[in-house]
């Protein structure tokens, strides 16, 4: 490949990147524009619901039922818009040297009351000598919480959630293993696709957003699952490397 061809390919990549960024900005702006009139509709439906709160005649009861149906659809549309804006927004990351085990302990303490309510036993296996990793703690915590809530939904009758950390050849890994309903191969192949969901009312943007956050940390996320036996998500992250007495940061993709 000669020099001119390399320049042309570089320019093409830059043009495509700019087009993608422009589309992302436009779709984000469109979502915001939809939220404004939607908020007006929601407010007025709440006022109507109050007017028909004590419906007595058959006609009033029919009107009340229709109002409740519109309110449900408005809430669903709000959820879709919120998840889409979270997925599409350009994120700014604040990476800090972090103890992965400590972040997990905080998250599990936060989730524990809900786990007890759902009869889910949390089983931690956190390796004690884990190396330091670079994390945007808030966004990484949100990504993990999404995985944990998915595990909870997969165990409606209770079960076990194993949370394990270990070292790998390139850094550290985190396993989240549930004893839930599991997924078939067709579903498993599409779980990171935007807008793909098998859950009633699901937006299909939770796992794609989680995947984007993990990749921005320079990491990878994979999943194994079997119907009736459960699911395991594995996250691998690079660690901080030492060069003499100086910490060297791994490359993180924004």
Q: Domain holding 14: CATH number?
A: 1.10.287
Element containing residue 116 per DSSP (H, E): helix 100-117
Q: Residue 254: inside a domain, yes or no?
A: no
Pick the last residue of a domain from 61, 88, 115: 88
Give the separation between CA 1 and CA 97, rounded to whole angstroms. Answer: 41
Handedness of CA 39, 45, 47, 49 (dihedral sign): negative
For residues 238 and 144, give the distance between their C-alpha atoms in angstroms, rounded to a whole number.
Answer: 17
How many structural domains does the chain have? 2
Task: Examine the domain organization and report whether 106 and 214 are in the same domain.
Answer: yes
Q: In this structure, what CATH number is given to the domain that contains residue 220?
A: 3.30.565.10
Domain boundary, last residue among 55, 72, 88: 88
Structural domain span for residue 218: 96-248
* Interval 61-80: pLDDT, tens: 888 889 888 988 888 888 77
Cα 107 to chain centroid, rounded? 15
Express each pLDDT in 231-242 by its tens digit: 999 999 998 764
| Residue 51 and residue 100 in one domain | no
Q: Do 82 and 104 reside in the same domain of the chain? A: no
Q: Which of 54, 71, 88 is the endpoint of a domain?
A: 88
Q: Across the chain, what does the average pLDDT equal?
A: 81
Q: Which segments within the chain are labelled E, that is strand?
A: 96-98, 120-126, 133-135, 159-167, 171-178, 220-226, 230-238, 241-243, 246-248
Same domain, 175 and 83: no
Q: Identify the band that residue 17 occupies on the pLDDT scale cut at 50, 70 and 90.
A: low
Give long-range contacts, CB 8 A cutoff, 24+ apart: 148-151: 148/107, 148/111, 148/176, 150/206, 150/207, 151/120, 151/176, 151/178, 151/180, 151/231
pLDDT category, 37, cuts 50, 70, 90?
A: confident
pTM for the predicted model, two decimal places: 0.66
Q: Strands of 37-100 (E only): list them.
A: 96-98
Contacts of 200 (CB under 8 A, 6+ apart): none
């Amino acid at each position: 490949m000669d020099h001119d061809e390399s320049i042309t390919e570089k320019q093409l990549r830059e043009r495509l990147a700019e087009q993608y960024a422009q589309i992302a900005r436009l779709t984000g702006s469109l979502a915001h524009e939809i939220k404004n009139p939607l908020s007006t509709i929601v407010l007025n439906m709440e006022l109507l619901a109050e007017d028909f709160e004590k419906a007595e005649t058959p006609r009033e009861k029919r009107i009340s039922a229709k109002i409740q149906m519109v309110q449900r659809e408005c809430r669903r549309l709000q959820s879709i818009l919120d998840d889409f804006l979270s997925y599409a927004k350009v994120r700014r990351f604040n990476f800090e040297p972090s103890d992965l085990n400590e972040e997990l302990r905080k998250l599990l303490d936060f989730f524990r009351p809900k786990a007890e309510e759902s009869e889910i036993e949390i089983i931690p296996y956190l390796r004690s000598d884990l190396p330091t990793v670079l994390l945007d703690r808030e966004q990484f915590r949100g990504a993990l919480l999404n995985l944990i809530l998915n595990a909870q939904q997969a165990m409606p009758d209770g079960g076990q959630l194993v949370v394990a950390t270990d070292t790998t050849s390139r850094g550290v890994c985190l396993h989240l293993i549930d004893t839930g309903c599991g997924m078939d191969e067709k579903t498993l192949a599409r779980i990171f696709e935007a807008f793909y969901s098998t859950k009633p009312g699901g937006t299909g943007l939770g796992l794609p957003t989680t995947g984007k956050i993990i990749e921005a940390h320079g990491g990878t996320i994979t999943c194994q699952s079997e119907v009736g036996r459960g699911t395991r998500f594995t996250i691998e992250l690079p660690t901080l490397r030492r060069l003499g007495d100086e910490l060297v940061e791994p490359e993180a993709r924004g």
